[in-house]
Amino acid sequence: MTLAETEPQALNFECETGNYHTFCPISCVAWLYQKIEDSFFLVIGTKTCGYFLQNAMGVMIFAEPRYAMAELEEGDISAQLNDYEELKRLCVQIKRDRNPSVIVWIGTCTTEIIKMDLEGLAPRLEAEIGIPIVVARANGLDYAFTQGEDTVLAAMVNRCPEKPPAAEGDKEERNAIAKLLNFGRKKEEIATSDSEYVDHPPLVLFGSLPDPVVTQLTLELKKQGIKVSGWLPAKRYTELPVIEEGYYVAGVNPFLSRTATTFMRRRKCKLIGAPFPIGPDGTRAWIEKICSVFGIEPKGLDDREAQIWAGMEDYLQLIRGKSVFFMGDNLLEISLARFLIRCGMSCPEIGIPYMDKRYQAAELTLLEKTCHEMGVPTPRIVEKPDNYNQLQRITELKPDLVITGMAHANPLEARGINTKWSVEFTFAQIHGFTNARDILELVTRPLRRNNNLKDLGWDKLVREETKV
């Protein structure tokens, strides 16, 4: 074996400068309004934006929505109407009907094109109506699907309070995470529990996750003696984490590069550059990196990870040796590809709408290491892929599974290619040790479906009907 064969192959990066073939980023409202319980989201755009929101979020019939659409008319676009007065009328109505703790203005493509000065209007209106107004740009011209959340959280970083001098003793009471973990416990028990933590600088985690996953990751770090001082976003806007210069921050999602930059530049925080806690391998690497920054020797992670892998063996048998191709949609592609390669798959190409090599540096390093350990070629990473070229490559490579946006799923299925919607990974619980099985449930579903069709002899009939 030559030296070249033993050395890990370097990642190959390309950029095709195609269009963003992704869901519109204003859809971040779908999960953020549910996460931040005292918020109200006002999307400022055209009827097209309203139709999209109606269709994208129409399935959430059991939740009372706390979002609305401010539709721009011809008079707005031609500057015949007063933007300030129109927005003031809407926000006063929102305050009267809902009385939220914060109103988030979501800018769209149209507000960018007609150059609406939302950042200039918001402070004046905020002072007049007495409710904080956070401005976030989530237009599809500049941002891909999940980057809408990134712009909202980056705007909220600037609203995080600095600890007042007299607030030291109230810090625990203010922390929503501490309240959740200490619910129903006596003060003596809480004091004993606090002694389990190692003395380390404050740590704030950022990224919108369901409450059960927030609790899981907080408890995983607690097992290592690490105390989470807060999460951004918090369950309530009034419980935003205290941020001071020198605090450490760590992200849980790969699409939050703008939020990370804002933490570092505006609030002088220290970013922990770790792989993201997706899959047991990523979760372990995430915890180990945080531990290493605080000088803590991690314990129990070998057994924890091995236990999770053993519990997924039934799924691993279905995908081991198969190939997966990512067309690019939600910026989770690098983390998911790394996890699936660790599961035994190969990945010839990872399409991704936007690639921040600095923020995802640790994830890219882990991807290279995983490919080398599993003995598979490293994928080519294509930023802003051209879909026409991608379809040609898919036809040549014939992957066993393509993870793609919804627009391309049916055409690929008609050509006999197994697909999975990438948007499902956005809304599923995929973070932490305990949710790794849920990722494989999604990935293997089309493969299991086709296996069942073959057993029943229906696969040929389905293909013929699709062609017709």
Burial (0-12, 13-18, 19+ Cβ within 10 Å), 175: buried
> Residue 149 corresponds to which amino acid?
E
Structure-block tokens of residue 397: 């490579």
- 157 within 8 A of 267, measured Cβ to Cβ: yes
Backbone phi, then psi, for 68, in 5-degree steps?
A: -150, 170
Q: What are the backbone angles phi and psi of residue 20, rounded to the nearest 5°? A: -75, 105
- In the numeric block, which tokens belong to residue 144? 């891909």
160 is in an annotated binding site: no
Which of 284, 286, 279 lies closest to 341, judged by CA? 279
91 is in an annotated binding site: no
Task: Give bridge partners of residue 250 from the DSSP assignment.
Answer: 205
SS (H, E, C) 357-404: CCCCHHHHHHHHHHHHHHCCCCCEEEECCCHHHHHHHHHHHCCCEEEE
User: At CA 354, angle to CA 10 and CA 51, rounded to 5?
Assistant: 150
Q: According to the annotation, is 24 in a ligand binding site?
A: yes
- Asked if residue 176 lies in contact with residue 236, where contact means CB atoms within 8 angstroms, the answer is yes
Please state, in angstroms and as integers, the Cα–Cα distance from residue 359 to each residue in 107, 221, 253, 354, following that order: 25, 21, 10, 12
Scan for tokens 């609203």, then name that residue. Answer: 159
Return all residues near 392 (Cβ < 8 A) that are at least 6 apart.
Answer: none
Q: Are the C-beta atoms of 337 and 361 separated by less than 8 Å?
A: no
Provide the annotated binding site for [4Fe-4S] cluster. Answer: 24, 49, 109
Which residue positions form the known binding site?
A: 24, 49, 109
